[in-house]
């Protein structure tokens, strides 16, 4: 990740981001450039968007690709997740920055891991996501091998981790049971 500016305020970042022709994230005063993703990463994201869209069709849930900015207030961050699902009323930041929407209440966040993001998505970003009161599930999908890790919040506010590496198995993502062969179709 490449830091683009000296320390700035969240408001200045949001104003910049609304005008930018490329995506960047805000990490506690620093603006960090987002790199483009490789084809397997994009294929997996596309496969998941299709599967979730089919499963959730006609239900109250909304599935969003990586263009919706998320606010992580406990960590002073604004980030883009690969996929976000909201199954309640969508709550957006009431401040408008030239049409830039900022989501406040994701229930499911999915990150597709690449070599450059895997460590960050498994540690610091994960810690920040798990602090969101609205979050019910965090899913990490490896783009280089069949490996899906889900963290699901229990009613007692604990997190249960499940790892699936069997390409013939399925994983539960929210209300959807999705086959790994569908997640990884044409990608590995």
Which tens digits make up the pLDDT trace of 48-79? 999 999 999 999 999 999 999 999 999 999 99
Based on C-alpha coordinates, what's the Rg of the chain?
16
Nearest to 74 by CA among 129, 136, 137, 13: 129
* pLDDT (0 to 100) of residue 166: 97
Region 29-56: mean pLDDT is 92
Q: Is-contact 151 75, C-beta < 8 A?
A: no
Question: Is residue 25 exposed (0-12), middle (13-18) or buried (19+ Cβ within 10 Å)?
Answer: buried
Which tens digits make up the pLDDT trace of 131-169? 999 999 999 999 999 999 999 999 999 999 999 999 999
* pLDDT (0 to 100) of residue 5: 55
Reported residue count of the chain is 188
Give the pair of three-digit tokens for residue 17: 């981001």
Domain assignments of the chain as residue spans, ordered by start: 37-183
- For residue 3, pLDDT beyond 60: no
pLDDT band at 87, cuts 50/70/90? very high
Distance of CA 2 to the CA centre of its chain: 19
| CATH number for region 37-183 | 3.90.1570.10
Cα 110 to Cα 128: distance, rounded to the nearest angstrom: 14
3-state DSSP assignment of residue 17: helix
**DSSP conformational letter for 33:** E
* pLDDT (0 to 100) of residue 107: 98
3-state DSSP assignment of residue 8: coil
């Amino acid at each position: 990740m490449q830091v683009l500016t000296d320390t700035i305020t969240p408001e200045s970042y949001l104003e910049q981001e609304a005008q930018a022709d490329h995506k960047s994230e805000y990490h506690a005063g620093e603006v960090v450039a987002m790199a483009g993703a490789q084809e397997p990463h994009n294929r997996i994201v596309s496969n998941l968007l299709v599967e979730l869209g089919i499963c959730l069709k006609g239900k109250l849930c909304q599935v969003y690709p990586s263009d919706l900015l998320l606010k992580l207030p406990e960590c002073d961050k604004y980030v883009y997740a690969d996929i976000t699902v909201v199954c309640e009323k969508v709550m957006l930041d009431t401040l408008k920055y030239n049409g830039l929407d900022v989501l406040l209440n994701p229930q499911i966040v999915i990150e597709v891991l690449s070599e450059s993001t895997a460590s960050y998505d498994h540690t610091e970003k994960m810690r920040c996501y798990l602090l969101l009161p609205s979050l019910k599930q965090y899913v990490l999908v490896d783009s280089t091998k069949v490996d899906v890790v889900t963290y699901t919040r229990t009613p007692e506010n604990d997190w249960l981790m499940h790892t699936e590496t069997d390409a013939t198995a399925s994983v539960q993502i929210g209300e959807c049971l999705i086959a790994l062969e569908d997640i990884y179709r044409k990608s590995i």
